[in-house]
């Protein structure tokens, strides 16, 4: 499962980068990541950074999250956050824009783990089953997550039990995503 998720993520990322190159003549660009150190940075132009994915150089685990909550994390989520350093990527889910969250740097990996812990603590307090977010939507209350019990990818409304299954696995979810035009 880890290798399948890692391969699907690497394939999506390569297609994403290829689309940027063919449409814009350069790697993916982000103004949000401007000024933030990362091994992904290829070039800085006009207050935006152009990036390419880089190998993940830390231990490939989420042990800090697991230890903090005494919870075994779905292997697919471990693969999601430890396959590569990359910028966040835009796509569509059910024809709605969303942003696939990625780890930008070693420092960002620490921040992501802290945010996952906070998310899981909130769910525990609300007596909800654990999920781990992997993408954001245009609505601040809706996130795309992986159910830690089943491994399903879901659209969930934060603070509620409203959940919609999007895919049986993270690999299936990734394979189903369109690579959209960057100029869209």
User: Residue 59 belongs to a domain with what CATH number?
Assistant: 3.40.1580.20
3-state secondary structure the chain: CHHHHHHHHHHHHHHHHHHHHHHHCCCCEECCCCCCCCCCEEEEECCEEEECCEECCCCCCCHHHHHHHCCCCCHHHHHHHHCEECCCEEEEECCEEEEECCECCHHHHHHHHHHHHHHHHHHHHCCCCCEEEEEEECCCCEEEEEECCCCCEEEEECCCCCEEEEECCHHHHHHHCCCCCCCC
Residue 172 lies in a domain: yes
Residue 169 lies in a domain: yes
17 in Cβ contact with 176 (< 8 Å): no
Please give the share of the chain, as a percent, with pLDDT higher than 90.
Answer: 92
pLDDT at position 160, please? 87
- Comparing 20-24, 28-32, 178-182, the range with the smallest average pLDDT is 178-182
Number of domains in the chain: 1
Q: What angle do CA 30, 31, 37 make, to 5 degrees?
A: 80
Q: State the average pLDDT for the chain.
A: 95
This prediction's pTM: 0.95
pLDDT classification of 183: cutoffs 50, 70, 90: confident
Q: Say how far apart CA 115 and CA 119 lie, in whole Å.
A: 6
Q: Say how far apart CA 52 and CA 170 lie, in whole Å.
A: 22
Going by their DSSP bridges, the two strands 54-55 and 84-85 should be labelled as antiparallel
pLDDT digits (tens, 9 = 90+) for 99-153: 999 999 999 999 999 999 999 999 999 999 999 999 999 999 999 999 999 999 9
Structural domain of 54 = 2-176
Residue 29 lies in a domain: yes
Residue 44 lies in a domain: yes
Residue 159 lies in a domain: yes
Q: Say how far apart CA 69 and CA 94 lie, in whole Å.
A: 32
Residue 171 lies in a domain: yes
Residue 183 lies in a domain: no
Residue 72 lies in a domain: yes
Judge residue 81's burial from the number of C-beta atoms within 10 Å of its C-beta, 0-12 exposed, 13-18 middle, 19 or more buried.
Answer: buried
Look at residue 184 and tell me whether its pLDDT is greater than 80: no
pLDDT at position 22, please? 95
């Amino acid at each position: 499962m880890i290798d399948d998720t890692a391969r699907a993520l690497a394939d999506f990322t390569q297609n994403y980068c290829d689309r940027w190159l063919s449409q814009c003549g350069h790697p993916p660009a982000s103004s949000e990541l401007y000024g933030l150190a990362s091994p992904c940075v290829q070039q800085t132009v006009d207050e935006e950074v152009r990036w390419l994915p880089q190998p993940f150089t830390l231990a490939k685990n989420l042990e800090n999250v697991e230890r903090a909550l005494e919870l075994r994390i779905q292997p697919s989520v471990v693969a999601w956050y430890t396959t590569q350093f990359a910028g966040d990527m835009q796509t569509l889910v059910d024809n709605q824009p969303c942003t696939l969250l990625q780890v930008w740097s070693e420092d960002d990996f620490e921040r992501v783990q802290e945010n996952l812990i906070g998310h899981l603590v909130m769910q525990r307090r609300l007596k909800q089953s654990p999920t781990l977010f992997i993408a954001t939507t245009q609505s601040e209350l809706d996130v795309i997550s992986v159910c830690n019990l089943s491994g399903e990818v879901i659209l969930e409304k934060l603070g509620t039990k409203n959940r919609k299954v999007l895919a049986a696995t993270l690999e299936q979810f990734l394979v189903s995503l369109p690579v959209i035009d960057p100029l869209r």
